[in-house]
Structure formats: structure tokens, C-alpha cells
């Protein structure tokens, strides 16, 4: 009798723990769509897009929306707070202006708490225990120009000691006034990071920042480590093998490190890249899972059961990715053939008030890339790589370029078109099937480091593939 009771209660507590750990992430993942803020569908949004959404939350008694102060260029920075509990959680996103993924997820999180449905018990568990403060878009001036720094070109994440920027002061004052127990420092990282040395991108990376050079672990940091172990487990089924661990070298000027030092258990979450998700809408969903799971784990103190030593099992962030790798092609020089791989990236160039972009490719590496990976790869075994050519007929504008027949011209080796008017119809630029240069410009197509990637891959003089401004085209 005693035994079976013990067994029963053990079973009960195990299933309880199990369901607490596993069901919240799954529930969040499956239900995300119904809370997703529909007005934001791309990474490049601004304060003027965000502000009305935050002010609208004031209609809902769950939220208090407080202006905390103004950015250098006079944009209001808000604190969205909700929950009536004792444990204070401070989250802030976009201290780097062009890192918007967590802001999108934050809006989805607000929508979740704004609604009422069968998930009310989960809401109640969190709201009864926590006092949540979320500062979305701490750096609205940076967001305006889709750049990392603020209007002074200061990196806010190196301003935690000197506190020269109003945006940094706002965050510091809020933390001090709340004496926050937990902090979530929400960022985006390079899409070229991998989780360890494997081909998978570090779609999410974590860090429990150090609070001294010795990287000691006190109770404050230990809680952050445990929370990360739990969060890593929570998202592995959605992005298996795509979670990394950020370098924990102490950075005395950074906010995360200082938050930890000031007594707030701080988790850094970095959103990286994923295949076929250039606008990071899937990663936004994973962020939503992380935020909801994290809040629930703090509310129910489930993180305390997480084995802290598992933190070190998360593979470290490495940089092993390119946008495109062409492997094993033959390059001719002075009558000799050499086998090379070519690593190509496609950085974004802003236009249209930073709301749009096009790509200008760049050859990042030539040589042996056998231990590196590409989001896209081509094994060009036995193909000859030759530079593309500039089409001799100058085109009036992008509209004219769009009317050219790409396959025919590419087969003749023309990957680049000269254009008279590079300003009108700029929206067409990202859709063109040719690289474009201003009329009369000097650009000679070459297969060299730092140049744009324009070349053909030929088999016995027949073109099989072209790479046009870093984009692979089958001919």
C-alpha cells in the first residue's frame, strides 16, 4: 500500500515534470500562428511600425505601457509590463537596431497574453508569479537605418559602464528600479555561424554572460546556466543540432555581463540563420517558444531541476558557413590548371529608406574549403571556371535589363549588364537575373577575393552553370 502510493506519487511528479518541460514548448510552437502579429512580416520594420502596436496594448487591462524616455533622435522607448507576481523578469530586444527577430517574437508574446482561450491556465501560471517588463526596440534610431549602433554610432552593448547614450541610461535605470531577478538580452547574430564544426547553422545561440574575467559561477549566473539548459532542451526538437553556445569571455563594457554582476540572472539569446528563412519568420517562432518556455520555467521554478553541467554539451559557436560554395572546379592560369573551391557570400545593400535591400555578392574565399559548408553547394568536379563578361550593349534602366533573355546571354558568357540609369525602378534590382554596373564603370570580371562573384562553369567549352552576382544558375 505504502509502496504503491510512493510509486504513484513518483509517477505523478515525473509526469508532472515531464509535461511541464515538454508541453509548453510544443504548445507554444503549435499555437504560435494564432498569436503572430500580422502587421509585421519582414525584418526591416521601424519605430513608426512598432509604436502603434505598443500603444494599442493600453486598451487591454493586462498591460501597462510606460514611456521610459527618448532616444537621441527623439523616439519614445517603452516598457510593456504585465503580471502581478513577485519575481521580476526584464527582457529587452534590439539594443542593436538591425536585430529585430526577438522584437517580432515579443509582439507575438504580447498578443498571446492579450487573448483568452484554452491556454488561460498557462497564462495564469505565468502572470500570477511574474512581474514581466519587456522593452522592445531599445535602439529605435539604429532600427531607423537598419544598423547596429545608435545615432551617435555607439554600440549600446559597450556602453553599460560609461552610460553616455540615453538608450543605455534607460535600460540601466529600469534594471535598477526593478532590481530584476531575471534578464533576457535578445539579439541577432551572423547567419554564417554554425553550431560547432558541423554544417548546421547556429539558428539560436545562448550565453550566460560571465561577470568577471575568471568566469566564476555564483548563484545568479548558475540560474542563467540552468535556464539555458532547459531552453536548449525545449527547442532541440524544432531545430535539431542548430543550437550553439556563445563565447563567455568577460566583456566589462557589455550589458549582459554587467546585469549578471548587478545581480540579475541574465540569458543572452542570439538568433542566427536558417536555410530558406531569410526573413527569419521561422526563427521568430522559435523565439516565441523560448520566451514563453523561459517565463513558464521561471514562474514554476522548473529551471532549478535542470542539470547545469549540460550547458557545456551545447556546441560552441563557430563560423563555418557561406551562402554558396562551389567545390572542385578547375581554374586556368598561365596555361596551368589548379583545383579550387570558391566561397561566396551575399551581403545586403540597403535602399528605399532602409526598408528594402538587394545583394552585392562577394568572393570570400578561394582554395580548400573542404572543412566548410554552404547554405547552398555545388560540386563542380571537372568543370572549368571562367570569368563572366560584361554585355556590350548598354541598357537604359533596370526595366530594360529585366527584358533581356537571361539563358541565351548567360550561355554566351554575359553575366554583367551596363545600365545608364541606376536610380529609376530600383525595386526591380533584387529581381534581375544579371549583375548590373553603371555605364562605363571600370569593373572587370575577375575571380579574385573581394570581387563580386560572376563566372561560368564549363564542361568541354559548354557552359553548364553560371554564377551571377553570387546566385547559382543552371544553364
Q: Among residues 187 and 280, whose Cβ is nearest to Zn ion?
A: 187
Q: Which of 135, 245, 220 is nearest to 185 (CA)?
A: 135
Taking each helix axis from N to C end, the angle separating 219-236 and 255-262, rounded to the nearest 10 degrees, works out to 130
**Stretches 168-176, 182-190, 245-253, 344-352: which one binds Zn ion (CB under 5 A)?**
182-190
Nearest distance, CB of residue 171 and Zn ion, angstroms:
13
Task: Report residue 349 as a C-alpha cell.
Answer: 545593400
**Stretches 53-61, 66-74, 183-191, 433-441: which one binds Zn ion (CB under 5 A)?**
183-191
SS3 192: coil
Answer yes or no whether residue 96 interacts with Zn ion by CB under 5 A. Answer: yes
Nearest distance, CB of residue 271 and Zn ion, angstroms:
10
| 91 secondary structure, DSSP code | E
- Backbone dihedral angles phi then psi of residue 30, each to the nearest 5 degrees: -75, -25
Site string for Zn ion, 187-226 (x = CB under 5 A): x---------------------------------------
Nearest distance, CB of residue 272 and Zn ion, angstroms:
11
- Backbone dihedral angles phi then psi of residue 443, each to the nearest 5 degrees: -50, 115
- Sheet containing 265-271: order of strands: 63-70, 76-82, 130-135, 87-93, 182-188, 265-271, 204-207, 243-245
**Stretches 95-103, 190-198, 370-378, 424-432: which one binds Zn ion (CB under 5 A)?**
95-103
DSSP line for 365-401: EEE--TT-EEEEEEE-TTPEEEE-EEEEEEESSHHHH
Nearest distance, CB of residue 209 and Zn ion, angstroms:
13
Nearest distance, CB of residue 317 and Zn ion, angstroms:
13
Nearest distance, CB of residue 462 and Zn ion, angstroms:
47
Query: What is the distance of C-alpha 119 from the center of its chain?
Result: 28
Q: Which of 257, 283, 235, 247 is nearest to 100 (CA)?
A: 283
- Binding footprint of Zn ion, residue count (CB under 5 A): 3
Nearest distance, CB of residue 65 and Zn ion, angstroms:
24
Nearest distance, CB of residue 150 and Zn ion, angstroms:
12
Nearest distance, CB of residue 187 and Zn ion, angstroms:
3
Q: Among residues 187 and 362, whose Cβ is nearest to Zn ion?
A: 187
Query: What is the distance of C-alpha 417 from the center of its chain?
Result: 33
Q: Are 452 and 361 in contact (CB under 8 A)?
A: yes
**Stretches 181-189, 201-209, 217-225, 337-345: which one binds Zn ion (CB under 5 A)?**
181-189
Nearest distance, CB of residue 99 and Zn ion, angstroms:
5
Q: Among residues 95 and 299, whose Cβ is nearest to Zn ion?
A: 95
Q: Are 85 and 264 in contact (CB under 8 A)?
A: no
Q: Among residues 35 and 92, whose Cβ is nearest to Zn ion?
A: 92
Task: Report residue 417 as a C-alpha cell.
Answer: 549588364
Q: Among residues 171 and 468, whose Cβ is nearest to Zn ion?
A: 171
**Stretches 12-20, 94-102, 136-144, 285-293: which one binds Zn ion (CB under 5 A)?**
94-102
d(CA 237, CA 277): 18
Answer yes or no whether residue 280 interacts with Zn ion by CB under 5 A. Answer: no
Q: Among residues 96 and 296, whose Cβ is nearest to Zn ion?
A: 96
Residues 97-116 that bind Zn ion (CB under 5 A): 99
Which residue number is nearest to Zn ion in terms of Cβ?
Answer: 187
Q: Among residues 99 and 141, whose Cβ is nearest to Zn ion?
A: 99
SS (HEC) of 348-367 = EEEECCCCEEEECCEEEEEE
Q: Among residues 90 and 417, whose Cβ is nearest to Zn ion?
A: 90
Which helix (H) or strand (E) is 337 found in, with range? strand 336-345
d(CA 167, CA 318): 31
Answer yes or no whether residue 43 interacts with Zn ion by CB under 5 A. Answer: no
How many angstroms separate the Cα of 221 from the Cα of each of 38, 79, 85, 183, 312?
A: 36, 25, 22, 11, 14
**Stretches 4-12, 37-45, 184-192, 396-404: which one binds Zn ion (CB under 5 A)?**
184-192
Q: Among residues 149 and 415, whose Cβ is nearest to Zn ion?
A: 149
Q: Among residues 185 and 454, whose Cβ is nearest to Zn ion?
A: 185
Question: Taking the CA of residue 350 as centre, how many other CA atoms within 13 Å lie in the half-sphere pointing to its CB?
Answer: 12
Q: Among residues 88 and 149, whose Cβ is nearest to Zn ion?
A: 149
Binding site for Zn ion (CB under 5 A): 96, 99, 187
Amino acid at each position: 500500500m505504502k509502496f504503491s502510493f510512493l510509486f504513484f506519487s513518483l509517477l505523478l511528479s515525473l509526469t508532472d515534470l515531464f509535461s511541464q518541460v515538454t508541453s509548453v514548448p510544443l504548445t507554444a510552437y503549435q499555437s504560435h500562428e494564432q498569436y503572430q502579429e500580422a502587421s509585421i512580416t519582414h525584418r526591416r520594420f521601424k519605430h513608426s511600425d512598432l509604436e502603434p502596436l505598443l500603444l494599442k496594448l493600453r486598451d487591454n487591462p493586462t498591460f501597462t505601457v510606460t514611456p521610459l524616455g527618448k532616444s537621441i533622435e527623439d523616439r519614445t522607448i517603452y516598457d510593456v509590463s504585465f503580471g502581478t507576481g513577485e519575481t521580476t523578469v526584464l527582457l529587452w530586444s534590439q539594443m542593436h537596431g538591425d536585430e529585430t527577430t526577438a522584437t517580432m517574437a515579443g509582439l507575438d508574446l504580447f498578443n498571446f497574453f492579450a487573448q483568452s482561450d484554452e491556454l488561460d491556465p498557462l497564462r495564469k501560471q505565468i502572470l500570477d508569479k511574474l512581474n514581466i517588463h519587456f522593452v522592445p526596440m531599445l535602439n529605435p534610431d539604429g532600427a531607423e537605418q537598419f544598423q547596429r549602433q545608435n545615432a551617435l554610432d555607439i554600440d549600446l552593448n559597450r556602453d553599460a559602464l560609461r552610460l553616455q547614450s540615453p538608450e543605455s541610461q534607460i535600460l540601466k535605470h529600469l534594471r535598477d528600479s526593478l532590481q530584476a531577478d531575471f534578464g533576457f538580452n535578445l539579439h541577432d547574430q551572423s547567419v554564417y555561424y554554425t553550431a560547432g564544426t558541423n554544417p548546421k547553422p547556429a539558428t539560436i545561440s545562448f550565453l550566460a554572460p560571465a561577470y568577471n574575467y575568471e568566469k566564476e559561477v555564483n548563484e545568479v549566473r548558475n540560474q542563467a546556466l540552468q535556464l539555458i539548459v532547459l531552453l536548449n532542451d525545449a527547442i532541440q526538437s524544432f531545430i535539431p543540432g542548430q543550437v550553439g553556445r556563445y563565447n563567455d569571455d568577460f566583456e566589462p563594457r557589455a550589458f549582459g555581463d554587467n546585469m549578471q554582476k548587478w545581480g540579475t540572472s541574465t540569458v543572452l539569446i542570439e538568433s542566427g540563420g536558417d536555410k530558406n528563412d531569410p526573413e527569419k519568420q521561422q526563427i521568430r517562432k522559435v523565439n516565441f517558444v523560448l520566451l514563453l518556455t523561459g517565463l513558464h520555467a521561471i514562474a514554476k521554478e522548473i529551471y532549478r531541476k535542470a542539470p547545469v553541467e549540460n550547458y557545456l554539451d551545447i556546441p560552441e559557436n563557430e563560423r563555418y558557413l557561406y551562402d554558396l560554395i562551389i567545390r572542385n572546379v578547375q581554374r586556368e592560369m598561365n596555361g596551368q590548371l589548379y583545383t579550387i573551391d570558391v566561397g561566396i557570400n551575399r551581403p545586403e545593400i540597403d535602399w528605399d529608406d532602409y526598408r528594402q535591400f538587394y545583394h552585392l555578392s562577394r568572393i570570400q574565399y578561394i582554395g580548400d574549403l573542404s572543412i566548410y559548408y554552404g547554405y547552398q553547394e555545388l560540386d563542380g568536379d571537372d568543370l572549368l571556371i571562367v570569368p563572366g563578361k560584361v554585355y556590350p550593349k548598354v541598357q537604359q534602366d533596370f526595366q530594360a535589363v529585366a527584358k533581356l533573355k537571361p539563358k541565351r546571354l548567360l550561355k554566351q558568357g554575359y553575366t554583367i549588364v551596363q545600365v545608364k540609369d541606376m536610380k529609376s525602378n530600383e525595386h526591380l534590382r533584387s529581381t534581375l537575373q544579371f549583375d548590373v554596373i553603371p555605364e562605363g564603370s571600370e569593373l572587370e570580371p575577375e575571380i579574385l577575393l573581394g570581387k563580386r562573384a560572376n563566372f561560368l562553369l564549363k564542361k568541354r567549352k559548354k557552359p553548364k552553370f553560371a554564377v551571377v552576382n553570387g546566385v547559382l544558375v543552371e544553364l
